[in-house]
A = this chain, B = another copy of it.
Amino acid sequence: MSTIYEVSKLAGVSIATVSRVLNNNKVVNEKTRRNVLDVIEQLNYRPNASAKSLASQITDSVGILVPEFHGPFYGCLMGSIEKTLRAKNKYALVASGQSSEEIEKKSIEFLISRNCDALVLHVEALSDEYLIELSKKNTPFVLINRYIEEISHHCIYLDNEHGGYIMAKYLLEQGHRNFAYISGPLQKSDSKGRYLGVQQALLEYDISLNESLFYQGNFHQECGSKAMKKFINSNVGFTAVICANDQMAIGALLVAHEKGIDIPRDVSFIGFDNSILAQYSYPELSSIDNQVENIGEMAANWVLKYVYQEPLKDIEHILKPRLINRNSVSTLIERFIYIS
């Protein structure tokens, strides 16, 4: 691999000049710039990243920490971050935190020790205090899908409450009045937000959730199945099941199938996340888009703007979810009209 010295020698200039053209420093004469550029091409010279980092304190790399790489959410998130970063010649260094406080902590140190210019964090186990403390250190970071007031400028997240609101609202508008709700773990802020949003919509119609038609799950499929069984056994009537994510919705669908329930004729279902599962389920599941790609892009833009001084317009910190309608919700209104 050729070095800046060889370029300077062949071009008949000093390494300082070569460095200037490499970094687009305006002061160099157009003629010498051309000449240097030619030699660079000719030698197929590529600057050494380590040397550059050592001298400039900039690595052009940003660390991404997510709980895990598989699953529909994090892949998309990383994908859109990398794509956005990459367009500006920045590198993505990745690590998984596995939802363990210790591993998340270590991963952050791991990434910092690699001199990442910035971090994008989707952490679950780390405390607010730790993150607030981290914000006082040297490495800037963005926090995905988590809101901490003291460092709100670092936070980019989905408006879960609005998401919960629109999913319930939609069902209400279709004429549904009797709901079952499968929640995520309520100590998690996203679950809480979704639940609050749902309740708010119900409140507007003076409806409250029957206790036997509420189930708190952990976002996995099996909970959805358990929940559905509980609902059916309760013998309390309902026409729609609202699920805090798609996986639990699928779990519930499976049980409904087993029990011979016709979907959406007998019972409607709506999920959250608009994950790939929603498209592939039977029937295809109506769901709430979680904006994962936009969030990733926004996070990358945050870094580009505030860390790399790229001229970008304002960062949106709160992303709004949208309803994606498929085939799992029936309109009671139409049917009613039709029948009568």
Contact with A82, one of B54, B69, B221, B247 (Cβ below 8 angstroms)? B69
Q: Of A29-37, A110-118, A142-150, A190-198, which stretch is located at the interface? A: A110-118
Contact residues of A between 67 and 89, Cβ < 8 Å to B: 68-72, 74-76, 78-79, 82-83, 86
Which residues on B sit within 8 Å (CB–CB) of A115?
A: 48-50
Which residues on B sit within 8 Å (CB–CB) of A202?
A: none
Is the CB–CB distance between A110 and B91 below 8 Å?
A: yes
Which residues on B sit within 8 Å (CB–CB) of A280?
A: 221, 247, 250, 277, 280-281
Chain copies in the assembly?
Answer: 2
Which residues on B sit within 8 Å (CB–CB) of A93?
A: 61, 91-94
A254 within 8 A of B: yes
Mark contacts of A247-285 with chain B using CB atoms, 8 A cut-off: 1 yes-contact digit, 0 otherwise.
Answer: 100100110010000000000000000001101111010
Is the CB–CB distance between B282 and A257 below 8 Å?
A: yes
Which residues on B sit within 8 Å (CB–CB) of A254?
A: 282, 284
In the assembled complex, the Cα of A315 lies from the Cα of B267 at a distance in Å of 52
Is the CB–CB distance between B96 and A79 below 8 Å?
A: yes
Mark contacts of A186-216 with chain B using CB atoms, 8 A cut-off: 1 yes-contact digit, 0 otherwise.
Answer: 0000000000000000000000000000000
Which residues on B sit within 8 Å (CB–CB) of A70?
A: 72, 75-76, 79, 276
A339 within 8 A of B: no
How far is the CB of A174 from the nearest CB of chain B, in Å?
Answer: 23
Is the CB–CB distance between B277 and A276 below 8 Å?
A: yes
Query: Looking across the interface, which residue of chain B has its beta carbon closest to that of A138?
Result: B1
How far is the CB of A131 from the nearest CB of chain B, in Å?
Answer: 19
Is the CB–CB distance between B54 and A59 below 8 Å?
A: no
In the assembled complex, the Cα of A258 lies from the Cα of B205 at a distance in Å of 35
In the assembled complex, the Cα of A110 lies from the Cα of B76 at a distance in Å of 21
Mark contacts of A46-62 with chain B using CB atoms, 8 A cut-off: 1 yes-contact digit, 0 otherwise.
Answer: 11111101100001010
Knowing that A50-B50, A54-B54, A92-B94 are A-B contacts, what are 5 other residue pairs whose CB atoms are under 8 Å apart, sorted by A's residue number? Answer: A46-B113, A69-B75, A69-B82, A93-B93, A250-B280
Listed by A's residue number, 7 A-B pairs whose Cβ atoms lie within 8 Å are: A50-B50, A50-B59, A69-B79, A70-B79, A92-B94, A277-B277, A282-B282
Q: Which residues of A contact B (CB under 8 A)?
A: 46-51, 53-54, 59, 61, 68-72, 74-76, 78-79, 82-83, 86, 91-96, 110, 113-115, 221, 247, 250, 253-254, 257, 276-277, 279-282, 284
